[in-house]
Amino acid sequence: MNLETGKTPLNIGLIEENKQDPIHYRLDLASKHRIEENRKRISPIIDFIILCGRQCISLRRHRDFGPIDSDIDPTENDGNFTAILRSKLRSGDEILKLHLESMCKTATYLSAKTQNEIINASEDIVTKKIVKKINEAKFSLS
């Protein structure tokens, strides 16, 4: 193990003896882990958008933008989506907090554009499920 990095260096002999995983396998695992972590981080955001849609709650107001500060109450209504996220942060959602703190401000997935993309993707999924149920239904018009 490298004492500076804490990582085990590759050893070609160990790879050939199947005692150490090849680099492409390690990279693939790292990529899969990163994908899983990103999904876990944006899952609450997607859940909130779907919740608002199911409950017929509008997401935004005309001033719905900028960072979410869970310590400060806004002076005016900043939208249901932002209020729900702020409430979730105040209740201790560590995954959401980590996401908002660690991502650059252009990659938080909170923008109106991203919200619309999630709504459109949800629409596609619901439409496919409805079509599948209709196609599987056994009925006759004669």
Domain boundaries, the chain: 43-136
CA Rg, the chain, in Å?
22
In 106-125, which positions are buried (b, 16+ CB within 10 angstroms) versus exposed (e)? Answer: eebbbeeebbeebeeeeeee
In this prediction, residue 111 carries a pLDDT of 79
Q: What is the mean pLDDT of residues 113-128?
A: 88
Counts of helices then strands in the chain (DSSP H, E): 5, 0
Instruction: Write the pLDDT tens digit of every residue in 17-48.
Output: 565 566 666 677 778 888 888 888 888 888 88
DSSP 8-state class, residue 10: P
C-alpha to C-alpha distances, 95 to 24, 30, 45, 66, 82, nearest whole angstrom: 29, 19, 11, 19, 16
The pLDDT, as a whole number, for residue 128 is: 93
Tokens of residue 112, six digits:
């109106």
Contact 20, 10 (CB under 8 A): yes
Contact 97, 89 (CB under 8 A): yes
Q: What is the separation of C-alpha 81 from the centre of its chain, rounded to a whole number of angstroms?
A: 15
Single-letter residue type at 45: I
Confidence (pLDDT) at 21: 61
